[in-house]
Amino acid sequence: MTFEPLDGLPGAEPDLAASFRAEWEFLAAPGTWLTGDERVAVAAVARAARSGDPIPKTALDAVEDDVAITLGRTPGVIRADVVDAWYRRGLVVERYIEMVGIASRITAVDSFHRAMGLPLEALPQPMDGEPTRIAADPSARRTRRSYAPTVGAPQIVTVLSLVPAEQAAWIRLSDAMYMTFEAMNLPGDQRGLHRSEIEVVAARTSLINECFF
Amino acid sequence: MLRWSIEESNRTVEMRALADRSLDPVLPGGSALLDLVDAVLLGAGDGDAARSAVSERFGSGGLVRAAGVIGNFEMMNRLADGVGVPIGPSTLKTEAKLLASLGLDRIAH
């Protein structure tokens, strides 16, 4: 069983451990554009980069290695020219979006564990199989002012919509770790903290990461 | 979201304390929450002490909740940075004073 320390953890609601377990299963399985091996490799490289550990050697090519390291360690340096340079080196946009999703979610799970003083969960064993290659509707893609197409206007709620499975995965995790879109209209107490206290934590985290959206 | 939540609940938060830790955030328990964030993201201070302070003030549920929010925004920041989610010109204009007071006007959006 994965994430055993969360079972019976005082104050933790069951959906949190369930969301982490669902994320681990999703991470290990073949994705939309990456194999299970490649997905776990992205997670391993991003985790090591975020932790300041030696970067493991994986099957990722040089540019995808750079992408995973940057997403883990210094996401604030990513600008249009940085992403364009990655594209010129052969990075495929759909694979990039999948990597953004994986690196972001492994960081979320790991940062939760760091905040709780818990050891990081071992990464899952990759599953065999081929990527699904289920793409977003090409006619619905928009690229205005973002580094990759989105379905609809580029904003945080559409950020990974080019790869629908990745879009669904971050929302699933955010629902358990932060709140659902419906709950965002509630200004009062939510699971142990008042909304203002939640947003103080969110704002300080984003400020340290030099991210404002 | 922070400004909206404090206006809706008639609470007070000194916004500049989010950027300048020498200032009192005013919000009860706010310093404990900020100390926890700093311990996780900056390695500042004693992580165990920060967790204890949050747990004593907000209970074990509050600590789990704070840890979840830290993790969530570590994710959201990477999503926004990675894909280049733009800040609308009207938001930049209306929030110009706040961004400047927090030192965020130096960050490219």
Distances in whole angstroms, Cα of residue B64 to Cα of each of A15, A209, A213, B33, B81: 12, 21, 24, 12, 26
- A20 touches A109 (CB < 8 A): yes
pLDDT of residue B89: 66
Mean pLDDT of B45-49: 96
Q: Does B92 touch chain A (CB under 8 A)?
A: no
| CA torsion, ordered A157, B109, A106, A12, to nearest 10 deg | -70
Facing B67 at nearest CB: one of A115, A173, A188: A115
- Chain centroid to CA A141: how far? 21
Facing A155 at nearest CB: one of B1, B8, B85: B85
**B108 confidence band (pLDDT: 50, 70, 90):** low
Give the DSSP H or E segment for A205.
helix A195-208
Please tell me which residue, B9 or A198, carries the higher pLDDT value. A198
- Residues in B touching A185 (Cβ below 8 Å): none
Q: Does B63 touch chain A (CB under 8 A)?
A: yes
pLDDT of residue B107: 55
Alpha helices, DSSP H, located in B9-88: 30-42, 47-83
User: How far is A12 from A180, CA to CA, in rounded Å?
Assistant: 17
pLDDT of residue B37: 98
Residues near A133 by Cβ (< 8 Å), separated by ≥ 6?
A32, A33
User: How far is A198 from A192, CA to CA, in rounded Å?
Assistant: 9
Residue ranges of domains in chain A: 12-133
Give the DSSP H or E segment for B96.
helix B96-101
User: How far is A61 from A58, CA to CA, in rounded Å?
Assistant: 8
Residues near B29 by Cβ (< 8 Å), separated by ≥ 6?
A197, B54, B57, B58
**A19 confidence band (pLDDT: 50, 70, 90):** very high
Average pLDDT, chain B: 86
- Residues in A touching B34 (Cβ below 8 Å): 200-201, 204
Classify residue A31 by its DSSP letter. Answer: -
- A76: distance to nearest CA of chain B, Å? 6
User: How far is A145 from A91, CA to CA, in rounded Å?
Assistant: 19
Distances in whole angstroms, Cα of residue B47 to Cα of each of A3, A62, B33, B55: 21, 36, 12, 12
Residue ranges of domains in chain B: 2-106
Distances in whole angstroms, Cα of residue A48 to Cα of each of A44, A79, A198, B8: 6, 22, 28, 41
CA angle B42, A183, B11 (to 5 degrees): 65
- A73 touches A50 (CB < 8 A): yes
Encode pLDDT of A35-91 as tens digits.
999 999 999 999 999 999 999 999 999 999 999 999 999 999 999 999 999 999 999
Task: Suggest the residue from B5, B21, B79 to mutate for an interface test with chain A (most A CBs closer than 10 A).
Answer: B79
Q: Does A24 touch chain B (CB under 8 A)?
A: no
